[in-house]
Amino acid sequence: MPELRRDPISGEWVIIAGERAKRPKDFAGQSAGKDAGGPSTCPFCAGNESLTPPEVLAFRPPGSERDTPGWWVRVVPNKYPALAVEGDLNKTGLGMYDWMNGVGAHEVIVETPDHDSDLASLDTRQIEDVLWAYRARYLDLKKDPRLKYILFFRNHGQVAGASLSHPHSQLIATPMVPGEVAAELAGAKRYEGYRDRCVYCDILRQEANEGTRVVTENESFIALEPYASKYPFETWILPKEHGPSFAAISAPAQSEFAQILGETLRRIKVLLDDPPYNYMIHTAPCDSDDRPDFHWHLEIFPRLTIAAGFEMGTGIFINVTPPEVAAQYLREVNLTPDGRLMEEGAAVGDSDS
């Protein structure tokens, strides 16, 4: 069973996943990827449902059997979970140190049965169903009082930590509010305490006025490069309407969220030649997803540069692409009027000319 240990200085928790333990030689060459075998051995492909634990959710035609083909979105427990769903939460001290057993949840959202597809290439209706699957799992897991926070995230490409290439996202539910999340909530609250306004609403207003960091928008969402981008081409997707929880989204807004997420990922894919990236949904903790001072959103971090000693030692990132420049490049990617990919060779605008 994984365990949670707390750093006595920072107060941050670490998951020690001893069951996944690696010996020193196992680290060599791990970047080779695990799914070189392709669809025949891929646990996320249709027909290979027996290679995963039983599904906890699937969108499939009426009458179709569990754990058989036919689904278009499927959610399964992670076979090698970072946190395990069984057992009560135990906490103890080990001398000066704090310890908890690794209770939580770790699930995989398989986004399509098509091994060689990609979230950016799916049609909006399919992306929307992936987002509905996120929401359904959120609402189900939120009932478990042991779970305090649920993070939805996506790792794309080996450099971004994806070990299987079949399109998928993940969720991990934790038995505490993680440090980064607590810090973000505290930052939003601090700003609101000082100005009596939501910091994200203020960002939306200033960015819409200035325009230089906006990538694209639709009726309910805006995609922008944040003023203090840590990563080149870091992109946030913010709902225009203030609200703490992504799970409270309306059906029309969900459709627009799917549209802008797909379009933004396509702009990044075309411009940067399908770069590795991570995205994460930032939403309020389970027990306070009605708190008025937070504003949920999604953050995309392309992994084009390496965080090294300076970033690790200071928390200050060095970003070689000003967000205004990044936004201009992303805006100039030519898509069809409904945000789809153009024919090959006609897609990248040339802001050098």
Task: Output the DSSP codes for 129-178.
Answer: HHHHHHHHHHHHHTT-TT--EEEEEEEESGGGT-S--S-EEEEEEESS--
Angle between helices 251-272 and 323-332 (to 10 degrees): 100
Interface with a copy of itself, residue 18, by CB under 8 A: yes
Interface with a copy of itself, residue 21, by CB under 8 A: yes
Among 124, 126, 174, 235, binds a copy of itself (CB under 8 A): 174
> Total number of residues binding a copy of itself (CB under 8 A)?
96
Interface with a copy of itself, residue 278, by CB under 8 A: yes
Interface with a copy of itself, residue 24, by CB under 8 A: yes
Q: Which helix (H) or strand (E) holds 25?
A: none
- Spell out the SS3 assignment of 224-291: ECCCCCCCCCCEEEEECCCCCCHHHCCHHHHHHHHHHHHHHHHHHHHHHCCCCEEEEEECCCHHHCCC
Structure-block tokens of residue 16: 């020690």
d(CA 341, CA 329): 16
> 203-211 long-range CB contacts below 8 Å, 24 or more apart?
203/227, 203/238, 204/238, 204/240
Residues 282-301 that bind a copy of itself (CB under 8 A): 282, 301
Interface with a copy of itself, residue 319, by CB under 8 A: yes
Interface with a copy of itself, residue 339, by CB under 8 A: no
Interface with a copy of itself, residue 59, by CB under 8 A: no
Sign of CA dihedral 10, 13, 18, 24: negative
Among 41, 64, 90, 206, binds a copy of itself (CB under 8 A): 206
Interface with a copy of itself, residue 251, by CB under 8 A: no
Which residue in 93, 87, 58 sits closest to 147, CA to CA? 87
Which positions ≥6 away from 95 have C-beta within 8 Å? none
Interface with a copy of itself, residue 196, by CB under 8 A: no
Among 32, 36, 251, 320, binds a copy of itself (CB under 8 A): 320
Stretch 131-150: interaction string toward a copy of itself, x if CB under 8 A: ------------------x-
Among 165, 229, 235, 259, binds a copy of itself (CB under 8 A): 229
Task: Output the DSSP codes for 97-120.
Answer: EEEEE-B-EEEEEE--S-TT--GG
Interface with a copy of itself, residue 8, by CB under 8 A: yes
Q: Rounded to the nearest whole angstrom, what is the least distance from the CB of residue 276 to a copy of itself in the complex?
A: 9
Residues 148-167 that bind a copy of itself (CB under 8 A): 149, 151, 153-155, 158-162
Among 39, 69, 70, 178, binds a copy of itself (CB under 8 A): 178
Among 51, 310, 340, 342, binds a copy of itself (CB under 8 A): 310
At 297 the three-state DSSP class reads strand
Q: Tell me the window of 116-124, 251-259, 271-279, 335-343 that interacts with a copy of itself (CB under 8 A).
A: 271-279
Phi-psi region of 100 (alpha: psi -120 to 50; beta: other; left: phi over 0): beta
Which of 60, 291 has the CB closer to a copy of itself?
A: 291
- Tell me which of 106, 115, 166, 168 is the catalytic residue: 168
d(CA 318, CA 305): 9
Interface with a copy of itself, residue 238, by CB under 8 A: no
Which of 6, 166 has the CB closer to a copy of itself?
A: 6
Query: Exposure pattern of 55-71 as b/e (b: 16+ CB <10 Å)?
Result: bbbbbbeeeeeeeeeeb
Interface with a copy of itself, residue 235, by CB under 8 A: no
Q: Rounded to the nearest whole angstrom, what is the least distance from the CB of residue 261 to a copy of itself in the complex?
A: 15
Among 132, 136, 191, 218, binds a copy of itself (CB under 8 A): 191
Interface with a copy of itself, residue 179, by CB under 8 A: yes
156 part of the active site: no
- Residues designated as active site: 168
